[in-house]
Amino acid sequence: MADRDQSYDEIVRAFRWRIPDVYNIAVDVCDRHAARDATALIIEDADGQVDRVGFGALARQSNRLANALAARGVGVGDRVAVLLGQRLETALVHLAVWKLGAISVPLFTLFGEDALAYRLADAGVGVLVTDAANLAKIDAIRDRLPALSWVLSVDGAGSGCDDLWDAVDRAADRFTAHPTRADDPAVIIYTSGTTGPPKGALHAHRTLLGHLPGVCLPHDRFPQPGDLFWTPADWAWIGGLFDVLMPAWHFGVPVLAHRARKFDPDQALALMARHGVRNVFMPPTALKLLRQAARAPGEIAGAHPRLRSLASGGETLGAELLDWGRRVFDLTINEFYGQTECNLIVGNSATIFPVRPGAMGRPIPGHQVAVIGPDGVPVAPGTPGTIAVRRGDPIMFLSYWNKPEATAAKFVGDWMVTGDVGRADDDGYLWFIGRDDDIITSAGYRIGPSEIEDCLIRHPAVALAAAVGVPDPVRTEIVKAFVVVADGVTPSDALAAEIQSFVKTRLAAHAYPRAVAFVDALPMTATGKIRRRDLRAAHTPTAESGGPAG
């Protein structure tokens, strides 16, 4: 699919999965490329120092770490957590763990003590690799983690931890990877917990192969000569680890490792230009911040990235962002869709088929995606329903870790239900309406927040916005907008009324926000998604601004 000039329909007709019985991610993405020792990772640290690591070095160092872990008793099925950002050691831990037939557990460095304690205890993690900045959090919860027997720090030995690199340097650099089967477990990635506590989605080694079509298509027949991948998304999340790092390495494409503590548009643009980045996965919130910093091609502050592909997922993109992307980067931002349990199943590819603003795209070849009703039967085009994926998909998770009832509840007949409401049009494009719990029911209308938010950010005074439903005695719910104003703009009742009128006239009379609250920031998940449930919980009627009636 990456190198043949075929249409979307031709690709779908010709597509066949090739999933071998014996398959190990680490062997595929690392050892297979070791002999030519091409650059695998370009690392720019916080001080601007740049290092390059080849596939051969990755193979030897991950072999050493696998031997070190094996000497401490880590084996098939054991869980090893990695609490690190975008850096060499993060990749080495995953590779070593997979070579052992063990299970890696990526964790986000901005998690607090309780979040870490829950995940580490739930997964029964026996070994943790982290850095000095996060050791205090681990020390504080160590007594709540009876299974945790060994902590390694990339910054040297300390209280209660050993030096990772000392363990690596003392081990042999030859290791024969465990012959894992494609269906053997490889990684537990925790969901953001939209309902109840977070659940660990257990994925098999085959999930990487399942991801590949969903990388090739939205990145316009990836890979191409000269490609270089980067994402501001953390590698602790499926979007960083399996949308970027591991798929790039499967194809032998280098990846840039750099993640600032806070996303800065000017720094991100300069970084991409400095390293010649060609392919980027960027969450919608980051795109919106970039749009604020560079609204026209001449306003990129001297940094001129020459991107070949730019893809985004996690929130629906609207026409405004698509138009901006074409003006600034001379390309179409390709939206894609998926979730932790079954990622990259729908997407766009502007070089293969027309992108329809607001649509998530079409099913990625190899994935059977449908909009179904409560009975598990696909509904007619144009009819809202639940977005679902047919069982047996190689990208699909094995189960929720230690949660068989939650796993069973994720399926309706032959379909894994996403919990997202959408519709399909006559040409097979899928349109996101909203999460089941984000849908706003007002005066008999079912209103998705995404299109309201897309309209809100078109107003020149609005930097970021979110729309939720809040209780109303007459309409069941009304739409309430939470707005972060642009730089130099002062919130006021008059501005609230102007924004309401703007949406009412440009979107729909029944969908405009009847209440507007100005806020300094929007609550986000660690992956950059708006936490609308937090906004609903924070709703206070006295904080509303009024607006046009009717």
pLDDT band at 446, cuts 50/70/90?
A: low
**Strand ordering across the sheet containing 462-472:** 462-472, 476-485, 515-518
Each residue's pLDDT tens digit, 26-68: 999 999 999 988 999 999 998 899 999 999 999 999 999 999 9
In a domain, 90, yes or no: no
> Is pLDDT above 50 for 109?
yes
* pLDDT over 50 (residue 543): no
Nearest in space to 17 (alpha carbons), one of 389, 391, 369, 393: 393
Q: How far apart are the C-alpha atoms of 299 and 326, rounded to whole Å? A: 14
Calpha distance 335→360 (Å, rounded): 6
- Maximum average pLDDT range among 310-314, 493-497, 529-533: 493-497
Q: Does residue 106 lie in a domain region?
A: no
pLDDT at 2 > cutoff 60? no
Give residue 372's pLDDT: 97
Question: How high is the pLDDT of residue 222?
Answer: 96
Say if residues 255 and 40 touch (Cβ distance below 8 Å).
yes
Q: 475-510, pLDDT tens digit by residue?
A: 778 999 999 999 999 999 999 999 999 998 877 777
Provide the percentage of residues in the chain whose pLDDT is more than 90. Answer: 73
Which amino acid would we find at residue 249?
Answer: W
pLDDT, tens digit, for every residue of 334-375?
999 999 999 999 999 999 999 999 899 999 999 999 999 999
Token pair belonging to 298: 């001449």
Identity of the amino acid at 304: H
Q: Is the pLDDT of residue 550 over 50?
A: no
Query: Is the confidence at residue 195, as pLDDT, over 50?
Result: no
Which CATH number belongs to the domain containing residue 539 in this structure?
Answer: 3.30.300.30
Whether 203 has a pLDDT exceeding 90, the answer reads yes
Report, as an integer, the average pLDDT of 127-156: 96
Domain total for the chain? 1
Chain-wide mean pLDDT for the chain? 91
Distance from CA of residue 26 to its chain's centroid? 21
Interval 412-422 mean pLDDT: 94
- If pLDDT is split at 50, 70 and 90, which confidence band does 250 have? very high
What distance in Å separates the CA atoms of residue 37 and residue 66, rounded to the nearest whole number?
20
Average pLDDT (153-174) is: 96
497 within domain boundaries:
yes
Q: Is the pLDDT of residue 542 over 60?
A: no
Between 213 and 530, whose confidence is greater? 213
Residue 463 lies in a domain: yes
Band (192; pLDDT cuts 50, 70, 90):
low
- CB of 353 within 8 A of CB of 10? no
What's the full length of the chain, in residues? 550
- Could you tell me the two tokens for 321? 């962002």
pLDDT score for 511: 83
Q: Which pLDDT value is given to residue 437?
A: 72
Separation CA 390–CA 382 (nearest Å): 20
Residue 276 covered by a domain: no
Determine contact, residues 480/472, Cβ cutoff 8 Å. no
pLDDT of 300: 57
Weakest mean pLDDT among 115-124, 320-329, 352-361, 437-446: 437-446
186-198: average pLDDT: 74
One-character DSSP codes across 143-197: GG-TT--EEEETT--BTTBEEHHHHHHTS-S--PPP--BTTSEEEEEE---SSSS
Query: Given pLDDT bands bounded at 50, 70 and 90, which one contains residue 439?
Result: confident
Do the domain assignments include residue 319? Answer: no
Residue-wise pLDDT tens digits, 280-311: 999 887 888 888 776 455 555 566 789 999 99
Q: Could you give the C-alpha distances from 393 to 27, 41, 388, in angstroms and in order?
A: 22, 30, 12
Kindly state the tokens that stand for 391. 């069982």
Residue 301 placed within a domain: no
How far is Cα 200 from Cα 188, in angstroms, rounded to an integer?
6
Q: What pTM, to 2 d.p., does this model score?
A: 0.84
- Spatial contact of 528 and 283, defined as CB atoms under 8 Å apart: yes
Q: Are 24 and 177 in contact (CB under 8 A)?
A: yes
State the average pLDDT over residues 522-539: 84
**pLDDT tens for each residue of 174-189:** 999 999 999 999 999 9
DSSP symbols for 384-434: -EEEEEETT-TTS--EETT-HHHHHHTEETTEEEEEEEEEE-TTS-EEEEE
Rounded mean pLDDT, 518-537: 86
Which residues constitute the domain of residue 455?
A: 446-543
